[in-house]
Structure 1
């Protein structure tokens, strides 16, 4: 039986990383920490790489910026497509 995948927000991840670091500093083994946080070692490493040293509000802002950046990229792609369509129509090659 497989576990259901949990989606966590960046601020939750930062909190779990801080919690895990505190447990490790208290002398618990990595296996105990991963089991307590209900994550795998690869998840821990990925989170540390992406969110290590961040505060909750910084992680939340990062996520907001990533969403805004994606939206702007989509808008640019649409504008470029419109521009290409108009250029083709002006040349009469349709």
Structure 2
């Protein structure tokens, strides 16, 4: 697409994404090779998965602290 002399707008139309999306992707993944970008996305998913239990435990702790204040 772009490597064949086409414009960014034409390439975006062909893959059905907006130019804004293209530029956001380019900013985030522009310097990465395919395997590096895939690894980065895997790490982001794992990070999100690990954050969920921490946020749940933090919320539980706050609820228990609030309940303890009311009892004393």
TM-score range relative to shorter protein: 0.5 to 0.7
In the alignment of these two chains, the number of paired residues is 71
Relative to the length of structure 1, the TM-score reads 0.56
For residue 30 of structure 1, report the CA deviation from its aligned partner: 3.0
CA–CA separation in structure 1 for the residues paired with 2:24 and 2:69: 52
Relative to the length of structure 2, the TM-score reads 0.67
Structure (1 or 2) with the greater helix fraction: 2
**Could you say which structure has the greater relative contact order, defined with CA pairs below 8 angstroms and 6 or more residues apart?**
1
The CA RMSD over aligned residues, in Å, is 2.4
Query: Unmatched 5+ residue regions in structure 2?
Result: none
Query: Unmatched 5+ residue regions in structure 1?
Result: 1-19
* Change over 3 Å in CA distance of 1:30–1:56 after alignment to 2: closer
